[in-house]
Amino acid sequence: MGKYSDVYIAKTMQGLEEVLAKELKDLGACRIKPGRRMVEFSGGMNIVYKANYWLRTALRILVPIRSFRAIDEHQLYTETKAINWEKYLSLQHTFSVDSVIFSKYFNHSHYVALKVKDAIVDQFREKNGRRPSVNSKDPDIKINIHINIDRCTISLDSSGESLHKRGYRVDQHKTPLNEVLAAGLIMLSGWDKKTNFLDPMCGSGTFLIEAAMISRNIPPGYYRKKYSFMNWLDYDPELYKDIQVSPYSKQYKPKILGKDISFHAIATARENIRRADLMSSISLEVGSFETTGAPWISGFIIINPPYGERIKVAAIGKLYKTIGDHLKKEFPGYKAWIFSSNFEALKQIGLRPTVKKILFNGPLECKFMGFEMYEGSK
Ligand SMILES: C[S@@+](CC[C@H](N)C(=O)[O-])C[C@H]1O[C@@H](n2cnc3c(N)ncnc32)[C@H](O)[C@@H]1O
């Protein structure tokens, strides 16, 4: 392996691997190989920068620097210390170590991270008499150790903060969707970027903002100020400037409308949309879905209704039944998608889905169901 491996890893959420692989292909990456909650790819440092800036469904991009076998802490320490850390870190940098372990040989991921940190710090101290400091909150250089049985891979995390932190969200509405998940659901649905888009339970507006960014080719990194790779010793600002040119040729401007029964939710969505500078692309209204008529002859609807953690079981079933009835009555000609973890309540929708997918919202297993609405659909 040279300074960096030529196989990189884009981490994602379960169920979004194929969408991410497609995104990587569009970016010009090669040797794309989807795995479990991740996709491997190759292509050179410009692809690493591009991946951070352009991928909507990646959580972070790891660049492996060394792989080795180890079955105890001593081996792990020795192999880690054998890496020439001055190629990646200086005394002025702060750093942190994250660990992900699937191994019978190592059971404490925190301890593994500590061993890696010790090996780095000891190497610096022996060579220089001084050592770089650890900063677990906002480190300059983020190091990741992944152990699968006895196969250890040490990577640099080129992203730093998770890529779902786009930089437009200001106010936390109660249950906002993760931005990577919202973008992934829109892309999984097959929305064509041109059809008018309605989220009638928009909460803080995550679907609306991600849809506007997708249709208008606004990169997910547009609002973000920093990535960890910008602190690397070989960071190339010119290359970073070059990769900001859009790889996509077309922009679309469909109408994008968000509604919510809660005044507070709409105020939050408005603030997020304002921060994203998308006020002219997205309309908002306060109002219940039950009283919402079809705003256009045909269109695309995506709904992330309450899952019922805070609402009584009977009431949540009734809400889902109302959603199904209202879709059927008012929205012929529309495609509708519903995302929820409440499988019992989903049965109350009373419409036959044409597509069904399983994904996770944090720890919650969710169904993402697509419906074609036509006159008399049931
Ligand atoms: C799970 S949250 C949506 C979160 C949103 N996707 C986001 O990223 O912030 C569900 C939303 O549905 C709204 N809601 C509940 N019942 C509604 C109804 N009958 N009509 C319209 N909105 C409703 C709630 O106010 C809440 O904001």
CATH of the domain at 108: 3.30.2130.30
143 and 208 within one domain? no
User: Which pLDDT band holds residue 314 (cuts at 50, 70, 90)?
Assistant: confident
Over residues 153-170, the mean pLDDT reads: 95
334 and 299 within one domain? yes
**Does 128 map to a domain?**
yes
Over residues 180-196, the mean pLDDT reads: 98
Residue 176, ligand 1, Cβ within 6 A: yes
CA-319 nearest atom, ligand 1:
19
What's the CATH code of the domain at 270? Answer: 3.40.50.150
124 and 198 within one domain? no
- Give the residue with greater pLDDT, 330 vs 172: 330
Strand pairing partners for 365? 360
SS3 labels along the chain: CCCCCCCEEEECCCCCHHHHHHHHHHHCCEEEEECCCEEEEECCHHHHHHHHHHCCCCCEEEEEEEEEECCCHHHHHHHHHCCCHHHCCCCCCEEEEEEEEECCCCCCHHHHHHHHHHHHHHHHHHHHCCCCEECCCCCCEEEEEEEECCEEEEEEECCCCCCCCCCCCCCCCCCCCCHHHHHHHHHHHCCCCCCCEEECCCCCCHHHHHHHHHHCCCCCCCCCCCCHHHHCCCCCHHHHHHCCCCCCCCCCCCCEEEEECCHHHHHHHHHHHHHCCCCCCEEEEECCHHHCCCCCCCEEEEECCCCCCCCCHHHHHHHHHHHHHHHHHHCCCEEEEEEECCHHHHHCCCCCCCEEEEEEECCEEEEEEEEECCCCCC
Ligand 1, residues 171, 180, 201: which to mutate, most atoms within 8 A of Cβ?
201
Residue 187, ligand 1, Cβ within 6 A: no
Q: Which positions ≥6 away from 38 have C-beta within 8 Å?
A: 9, 10, 11, 12, 17
List, for residues 32-59, the tens digit of each pLDDT value. Answer: 999 999 999 999 999 999 999 999 999 9
**Does 348 map to a domain?**
yes
258 and 152 within one domain? no
Mean pLDDT of all residues in the chain? 95
Over residues 68-80, the mean pLDDT reads: 97
Distance from C-alpha of 144 to C-alpha of 193, rounded to nearest angstrom: 36
Pair 162, 264: CB distance under 8 Å: no
pTM above 0.85, yes or no: yes
**Does 64 map to a domain?**
yes
Encoded tokens for 91: 């005394």
- Give the residue with greater pLDDT, 233 vs 171: 233
341 and 205 within one domain? yes
Lowest mean pLDDT among 166-175, 216-225, 266-275, 341-350: 166-175
| Distance (Å) from CA 224 to ligand 1 centroid | 27
Sign (positive or negative) of CA dihedral 110, 111, 112, 114: positive
List, for residues 58-72, the tens digit of each pLDDT value. Answer: 999 999 999 999 999
365 and 298 within one domain? yes
Nearest protein Cα to ligand 1, atom 25: 262
**Does 166 map to a domain?**
no
- Per-residue pLDDT, 13: 97
Q: Which of 122, 157, 192 is the last residue of a domain?
A: 157
For 342, the domain range is 179-217+228-372
**Does 3 map to a domain?**
no
Nearest protein Cα to ligand 1, atom 18: 288
117 and 85 within one domain? yes
192 and 279 within one domain? yes
Ligand 1, residues 260, 301, 348, 361: which to mutate, most atoms within 8 A of Cβ?
260
- Per-residue pLDDT, 377: 47
Pair 210, 177: CB distance under 8 Å: no
147 and 249 within one domain? no
**Does 378 map to a domain?**
no
| Identity of the amino acid at 149 | I
Ligand 1, residues 166, 178, 261: which to mutate, most atoms within 8 A of Cβ?
261
Q: What residue has token string 């029964």?
A: 261
**Does 342 map to a domain?**
yes
Number of structural domains the chain divides into: 2
CA-173 nearest atom, ligand 1:
9
Whether the per-residue pLDDT at 295 is higher than 60: the answer is yes
186 and 140 within one domain? no
Residue 175, ligand 1, Cβ within 6 A: yes
**Does 197 map to a domain?**
yes
201 and 148 within one domain? no
Residue 261, ligand 1, Cβ within 6 A: yes
111 and 16 within one domain? yes
